[in-house]
Amino acid sequence: MAYSLKLFEYMQNGMFVIMPNFGDWIKFNKNYNVGNNVPTNNYKETSGIIHNLNNEGLIKYANDNIKSVNDNFSWESQEIKLFKLYKELINFN
């Protein structure tokens, strides 16, 4: 599954993310806890989730999402992983 670039832009800008409750979206959110998965066919439940957000939770999501993007999805973090892999391959006996 290809994730929307908007997802990572929202995370980078510290936004709480609302995403569908099916497919790889559930696994992604379990791994990175970026927001809430909501049913796409129940607008009342979705609006209730949004309505019940509080400032403390939003601030925590903001900080966590920015950190997650920087640690896992930035070019810099991937460069470190790539160079580590290259070193392992070069030193493979």
pLDDT in tens, the chain (93 residues): 567 889 999 999 999 999 999 999 999 999 999 999 999 999 999 999 999 999 999 999 999 999 999 999 999 989 999 999 999 999 876
Which range of residues forms the domain containing residue 65?
Answer: 5-90
Total domains, the chain: 1
Which segments of the chain are extended strands (E)? Answer: 17-20, 35-38
